[in-house]
Amino acid sequence: MDGVCIEQCESEEVITQMNAIGNKVNVSGSNADTVLWLWEHLVPVSGQCQTLQGEVIRVLELLAWEAQANGNLNWDASFDEMLVFLRRAFLSSDYPLAETFSIETRLTIEADINRLANFILPTELDSRIYSEEQPYIKDDLYDRLAGHLVNYCRSAPHLIPII
């Protein structure tokens, strides 16, 4: 297959998935209900998602899992790429999310992503252990970022394809 056919096939797959679920995020219920819906309907068993909303949830879960279960010991360039993706998704004009957030919310999002990016591996910590130097393992930051996505979905529920 050449690149054009692959892109067209992937595009058709995105459209098929979006049509199957109604092209909109189900935002009924709590934030947790919406996040669960995003996970169940947009995140594949393996690989990247075809929608922005699904990919944000998938990336947040991968980052949380790596920090909470592994202390970021498996951190490599792919995790750095995930942080770049989150910055683009939430803060750049590449996607419509950033346009809907207030300046204060954007600053909070940026600070949260920066916190995820700045840590010392547990194997490299010395005797002066400061919690701000360790990988971030509490749920609040991940939940806050997911909550910003849900708030966006409540105001603009249409799925955004990643092509």
pLDDT tens-digit map of 130-157? 667 889 999 999 999 999 999 999 999 9
Instruction: Please report which confidence band the pLDDT of residue 5 belongs to, taking 50, 70 and 90 as the band edges.
Output: very low
The one-letter code for the residue type at 71 is: G
The chain-wide mean pLDDT, for the chain, equals 87
- Phi and psi at residue 24, to the nearest 5°: -135, 150
Indicate whether 12 pLDDT > 90: no
Over residues 108-125, the mean pLDDT reads 89
Half-sphere exposure of 13 (CA within 13 A, CB side): 13
Write the DSSP symbol of residue 51: B
Taking residues 50-62, what's their average pLDDT? Answer: 97
Q: What is the pTM of this model?
A: 0.84
pLDDT tens for each residue of 20-48: 567 899 999 999 999 999 999 999 999 99
Domain locations along the chain: 3-155
pLDDT at 98 over 50: yes
Across 7-16, 21-30, 99-108, 111-120, least confident range: 7-16
d(CA 14, CA 50) in angstroms, rounded, equals 6
